Structure 1
Amino acid sequence: MKTPTAVAEFLINGALSFDEKLENLWYRIAQQAQFSLKENSYMLDNLSNSLKFAAHNIMQHESHQLAQTQQRLKYFSKQQIRGESEKLTMMRKKLHSDSQKRLGNISEKLSHYQKFLIASDPEQILKRGFTYTSVNGTSLSQVHELKKGDLLETISEKHLLQSKVEYIKNREKNEPKEKK
């Protein structure tokens, strides 16, 4: 390049060629960016749809699991209630049986006490040949000192006897009874 015009033309042609190459690169970058954006948008749409589908499937699965758990809970609750009901029925029967036994024992004791009370009835004692003696209205067993002339009243089954004390002999506790 011998002349400044040739140098200028060379520089202008180089700049134009560079500008054309730069514009061409710019165009290709823009196309590549648009393509990448479309491709990424398509991938994001696919991922979004996959996530929606997966979330829907998970929700359905969890809903199904929840329904099964509810069914099992109902079943086991009914079984538990049935078992407790059977226990209560058995306890009620045992309570009834034990109550009947206890009432039978109490009834037997009451019958025994009734027989004892009947046997202890003064009228029954008199019928067996015993008597009741009192001194001036006080039971002979309660009188500490008897005197000659005291009036005794003796009741037997059929008689009321009045006696007057004529003779008193005190017996020692260890002294044997006199045989008649």
Structure 2
Amino acid sequence: MHNAISLYELNSLVKEVIETTMSDEYWVEAELSEAHENGGHCYIELIEKDENGNTPIAKARAMVWRNTWNIIKPYFERVAGESLHSGMKVMLKLYPTFHPAYGFSYTVSDIDPTYTLGDMAKRRKEIIIKLKENGLFELNKELEIPMFTQRIAVISSNTAAGYGDFCKHLSENEHHLYFKTELFSATMQGESVESSIINALNQIYERIDDFDVVVITRGGGGTSDFSGFDTYTLAENVAQFPLPIITGIGHERDDTILDLISNVRVKTPTAAAEFLINRLEYVYQKIEDIKFNISNIAERKMEMEKMRLEKVASTIPSLFALIKIRQETHLDIVMQRIYNKMTHDINEAKHHLNILTDNIKPLCERITTNQRHKIEMLEQKTETLDPDKLLKRGYSITLYNGKAVRDAKLLKSGDEITTKLENGTVKSTIK
């Protein structure tokens, strides 16, 4: 028989060895593959990846007990500006523990937010450099916000207080300016921020002609996870979107990458509404100023024209009398010229007509004589060609189907022909 111990006894030995030989706490750099709260405690999955790839080379479980988590969480979120989430690099102070029933894990006693802040800043800097290298950083800023910006597509959570504040502020503006808003609901916190906002942008793009600008708002609540707004993919989509994008995410920390590449960045949803109202009020005031200027110019112009007309009216009688005398004199001269011209043309025509009259009689006689001679010659030729005279001389004419037969080869057996003589006709059948 072997000398055996129970599993519980073995685990208790392991627990004793770990607690004896590794009683110190250690600061450890790691990446979070998962982090969630349950019962007031925070449960964490830690991972370390190969520097040359994404292959995990180490994994471990860790947890923060409720009393410690209640202290760490608010401090970390206040400094780092976001909550623990998958993919975040962290610096944790922990010590190893081994429970006979639950196995090995690490207990976290502290988390350094400045480390995470530095890692986030590094990652954000790399994304910004990449955006600039690809010519995307200023792309959306180059779009001009329309003068009459009233049709607004809003990307926000339908339950966010910031969205309600935005709509209320727009509708209750001092000048009663009209704005039409339409919500495209999206997740504004957590890991799905990126995909959710991109999906909303795609929906807006399908109706691009229905909107003037896009407003991305969040607002409300305390400090929480803003990492979803610091991704290259989201920045790339926003930068290349064909409408100007205004961000009012509602935080006081450094600008997110989404803020940096948007057309206009304001702090809060209410500030975004105020920006749109001020812009439209400016346009409205410009129109009012132009209307006032046009009215003044028109009044001055009408007054000047009235004075000019009065001046012209006072000079009309004398001018009319002078013009009348000049026109009457000119008309007399024109009438005399017309009379002289007509008299000259009539005399010229009479003279020409007399010449034509003297020449036309002998010409007509000559033409008549020539034509009479031609007629006599034609009569002679006609008499010579008269068929009746040929018949009287003993000739006959053979007809087939009413036409003279000139060639016997054209006739065939059975054809009926007619022979016309001086006196009568003879019908024959060809045999």
TM class by shorter-chain length? Answer: 0.3 to 0.5
Larger radius of gyration between Structure 1 and Structure 2:
1
More strand by share: 2
Structure scoring higher RCO (CA < 8 A, sep ≥ 6) equals 2
Instruction: Provide the TM-score with structure 2 as the length reference.
Output: 0.17
More helix by share: 1
